[in-house]
Amino acid sequence: MPDLDRDFPGFLADESLHEAYELEIQSKEGKRLRFGELIAGKGDSVTTIVVFVRHFFCVYDQSYVRTLASQMMQNLLSTLPGSANPAQVIIIGCGDHSLIVPYMEETGTELPIYSDSSGELYEKLQMTRTMDGFTTPPPYTEASFVGSFATCLKQMWRRGWAGLRGGNWGQQGGEWIFQDGRLRYAHRMEGDNDHLTAEELVEILRVDQGLEKPEGRGGSS
């Protein structure tokens, strides 16, 4: 289980975080907005979970988004302590914004999705680039490596030239939790199969409210 700790290695300094807030991302319509608007735009009382995914054709992450959306929105968020509600979940990818709608169709999610095609936000938040775990399917997908890779190529082929704008294949993502406009927790993926599960994310929120530390998985990569 993740360890909630403000002082774990790699936690961003306030200055770097404020710089990240000023970076622009794009909506599915191509509208540009500051990252900080997503965090504080609905008021300080909102808990915001930002999930950074890998390239838009990563089948592992598509499975993750399907699971995350169904579990968090239908079951888990409703069980949070009162001070952690209301909550919102936002997805950010590293591909072109024109692929957001196809990604939503592929994953069946209605969660808001944005694009950081320049990779500046990923870089500012110090998320890694690696291909580690590429051949090892994560627990949140039922697809094999061969099946996932074949599906990825098929999706790219169907999108024509846009299939080349899905994002950097080595770019890893992570999960970031903000409360009262402040960063409360950050997990950076160490490989292609390293997202936190929906249960882990909700447990972090519960622990934060109780000022306790669960044992197990570290809070930063």
pTM: 0.86
- Highest CATH level, class, for 14-208: alpha beta
Residues 6+ apart with CB under 8 A from 129: 168, 170, 171, 172
**Nearest one of 83, 170, 81 to 129, comparing CA atoms:** 170
Burial class (CB in 10 A: 0-12, 13-18, 19+), 205: buried
Using a CB cutoff of 8 Å and minimum separation of 24, what contacts does 145-153 make? 147/59, 148/59, 148/60, 149/59, 151/59, 152/57, 152/58, 152/59
Tell me, what DSSP letter sits at residue 133?
A: T
**DSSP character for 188?**
E
DSSP-derived secondary structure letter, 160: G
The pLDDT tens digits of the residues spanning 123-146 come to 999 999 999 988 988 888 888 999
Q: Would you list the domain boundaries of the chain?
A: 14-208
pLDDT (0 to 100) of residue 221: 39
Tokens found for residue 173 = 């993502």
pLDDT tens-digit map of 180-209: 778 888 999 999 999 998 888 888 877 765
Of all residues in the chain, the percent with pLDDT exceeding 90 is 54
